[in-house]
A = this chain, B = another copy of it.
Amino acid sequence: MVTSFATANAQLVEGKRGSEDFKIGVAGYTYRNYDIDQTLAFLKSMEVKYLSVKDFWLPLNSTKEQMDAFKAKCAEYGVNPYILGPIYMKSEAEVDRAFAYAERYGSDVFIGVPNYELTDYIIKKVKETGIKVAIHTHGPDGAPFPNIQKVAEVYKDPSLGIGCCMDLGHSVRMGEDIVKDIKKYKEWIYDIHIKDESEASKKGGTWEMGRGVIDFVPVLKVLRQIKYQGVVSLEFEKNWRNPHPGVAESIGYMRGVADATK
């Protein structure tokens, strides 16, 4: 971030930008066509400082040494690999593996996609390990948890340490009102995946922010209102072979809305 000198000129940035009220990140799935080095170079070129880490870069059986090397590489690019996942969990063995992975990484939370029948086991593991689970909500596509309502319905008590990585795009594809949901379920929101959508229906796909159907002005305003302290990570699923221009456009858009809603 370029720092301005003190001046009386009306149009020079003074003090904190509105966008600095948000931790803006990228969800790893966005750059699934790239290795971690190229991905980090992309993030650095946009001054994006948070990355949600997918296991195609850091496999679930990674050793602590491999994890340390991975973190050191991220640090070279000024990027905080702040969370692991989403990790799918279809059996108790897979739950165990996911928690062990997060524990080796030194995390107190990871993004998970557990099957419903593992609910009691997940609650037990969170109690045992102190590691929380942010359940990724996947809209109308058939993954266990379509929206934040379902997480709240199944887990009931937000103090258990099971919450959401709320996917705003997928929620809109479900026909949800995400502005109301963010306010209503704020204590369940541990992490956020953000993206625009081509349609507010199952047929919708990721779109560049500012050019789809979602008005992000009230979305960012409600995140300010609830004083959301987590990361807002762009999960750009469009153009997987060459997503970067659309990512850059979306990150720019998010910063523009954030600066102007200060």
Q: Is the CB of B248 within 8 A of A1?
A: no
Q: A14 interface residue, CB < 8 Å from B?
A: yes
Which chain B residues border A208 with CB–CB below 8 Å?
Answer: 46, 252
Which chain B residues border A257 with CB–CB below 8 Å?
Answer: 256-257, 259-260
Which chain B residues border A220 with CB–CB below 8 Å?
Answer: 260
Number of copies: 2
Q: Is the CB of B11 within 8 A of A218?
A: yes
Q: A58 interface residue, CB < 8 Å from B?
A: no
Whole-angstrom CA separation of A8 from B255 in the bound complex: 26
Whole-angstrom CA separation of A216 from B256 in the bound complex: 9
Q: A106 interface residue, CB < 8 Å from B?
A: no
Say how far A149's CB is from chain B's closest CB, in angstroms.
15
Q: Is the CB of A13 within 8 A of B213?
A: yes
Contact of A248 (CB < 8 Å), options: B19, B216, B249: B249
Among A212, A213, A214, A250, the most chain B Cβ lie within 10 Å of the Cβ of: A213
Say how far A208's CB is from chain B's closest CB, in angstroms.
7
Number of interface residues of A (CB under 8 A): 59
Q: A9 interface residue, CB < 8 Å from B?
A: yes
Whole-angstrom CA separation of A219 from B217 in the bound complex: 19
Whole-angstrom CA separation of A220 from B2 in the bound complex: 21
Bitwise, A161-192 to B at CB < 8 A (1) or not (0) is: 00000000000100111111000000000000
Q: Is the CB of B2 within 8 A of A199?
A: yes
Q: A59 interface residue, CB < 8 Å from B?
A: no
- The A226-262 residues at the B interface (CB cut-off 8 A) are 244-246, 248-262
Q: Is the CB of B245 within 8 A of A200?
A: no
Nearest B residue to A220 via CB reads B260
- Known: A214-B11, A259-B217. Is A198-B2 also a contact (CB below 8 A)? yes
Interface of A toward B, CB cutoff 8 Å: 1-2, 4-5, 7-14, 17, 19, 45-47, 172, 175-180, 198-200, 207-220, 244-246, 248-262
14 example contacts (A-B, Cβ-Cβ < 8 A) are as follows A2-B213, A4-B213, A9-B200, A11-B172, A11-B177, A12-B213, A14-B215, A46-B249, A216-B256, A244-B245, A246-B248, A248-B249, A249-B249, A257-B257
